[in-house]
Amino acid sequence: MQALSRTFCRFYATKPPTLPHAALAARTASTPMAVRIRRQKKLGKADLAALEQKGTDATPLGLTPSESARYQRLKALGRIPAVDGVELSEEQWLEKVNRRRTRIRGVRTVKRDGEADETEVLGRRVYLPNIIFRLVRNNTPPGQPYNPYEATFRIPKSITKTDIRSYLLTIYGVETTYIRTDNYISPVFTRLRGQRKAFKTYKRAVVGLVEPFYYPHRLEDMESKQRVEREKWIEDNFQIQATRNQQKYELLRLTKGQAKGWSFNEPMATKRSHILRLVAERREKREKLVLEQAAEWQAKRARGEKITSLLPRKPSLLDNLPATTN
């Protein structure tokens, strides 16, 4: 009964019999901490060092330690299926288990008298799922490379691992090797009138992939030239900054626009930090012009040239006096 329950716990997997080494390493790296501690206590120092050097805990045939232990346990109990009197090997047994895991649920083949086999759909069909899977960037520790054999989603709290596997495989054709889920429970805040509400509570799903997927680079990861081009493309297509300025403008208009003698100062210089930044930029520009003019005059003096000002001289009262001679 214990082996049967473990089988049902792993129905979400859609992995093929063989996986690339990178996918096996990613699966090993995503092993839960409780399982890692249990395996460290079970393995010796030599086996643990060899496992860390290898990078994956899979057997040469691609089985996980749990699958290999389950095969050995079922073999000792005599519950391994046999073909022509010969028990299935580990590879054949894993292929049989994976074939059952990847079967299409909710469909059965019906044999009718005098007719061909028909496929009958069980239950109620769902054509348009009303759930949202939000793809987010994987949590990559500093100094470690990005893992392309994992994908992270934020999903509704009511979604199970079987639902995730079916959703990705049916709609997008994405095969999964493992699925880890956890819930983030945000603190509860008390609002007015004694109402208590939790914000930003979500469920996260880390999905192992058979084919690698590289998440688009963030702006922080791009070079300066690529970042400028990306920001310009985003602004031209989505007008994010223009929308924020408009929202700020409308908020100020509703809060302060009704006061007498008050007007907007473009471009949106409404914060002290913004005003100080504009003053600093103008001062830096003025000092730069002064230094450039001083350097030009010093070069002319070194060459013995006459320095003349390009600005017109302001007229004075002395210019209107008549000329006198001694």
pLDDT at 135: 92
DSSP codes of every residue in 100-126: HHTSPTTEEEE--TTS--EEEE-S---
Helix (H) or strand (E) holding 202: strand 202-209
Give the pLDDT confidence of 203-232 residue by residue, as tens digits.
999 999 988 888 877 777 788 898 899 889
Q: Could you tell me the two tokens for 217?
A: 């680079």
Q: Where are the domains of the chain?
A: 2-121, 134-215
Binning pLDDT at 50, 70 and 90, where does residue 53 land? confident
How high is the pLDDT of residue 203?
93
- What percentage of the chain has pLDDT greater than the value 90? 8
**SS3 (DSSP) at 216:** coil
For the chain, what percentages of helix, strand and coil (3-state, to nearest 5) are there? 45, 15, 40
Residue 90: both structure tokens together: 């580990």
Reading the block at residue 297, the tokens are 């005059």
- Give the pLDDT band of residue 257 (cuts 50, 70, 90): low
Please report the pLDDT score of residue 245 as a whole number.
Answer: 87
Rounded to an integer, the average pLDDT of 83-98 is 85
Close Cβ partners of 57 (under 8 Å, ≥ 6 residues apart): 28, 31, 39, 51, 64, 65
Q: Residue 189 in 3-state DSSP?
A: strand
In the chain, the percentage of residues whose pLDDT exceeds 70 is: 76
Whether the pLDDT of residue 254 is over 80: the answer is no
| Chain segment 3-16, per-residue pLDDT in tens | 333 333 343 455 55
The residue-averaged pLDDT of 164-179 equals: 86
Output the pTM of the full model: 0.53
Average pLDDT score over the chain: 77
pLDDT digit string, tens, across residues 116-168: 788 777 766 666 678 889 999 888 888 877 888 899 999 988 888 888 988 88
The architecture that CATH gives domain 134-215 is 2-Layer Sandwich (3.30)
Q: Residue 197: which of 207, 183, 186, 181 has the closest Cα?
A: 186
d(CA 303, CA 297): 10
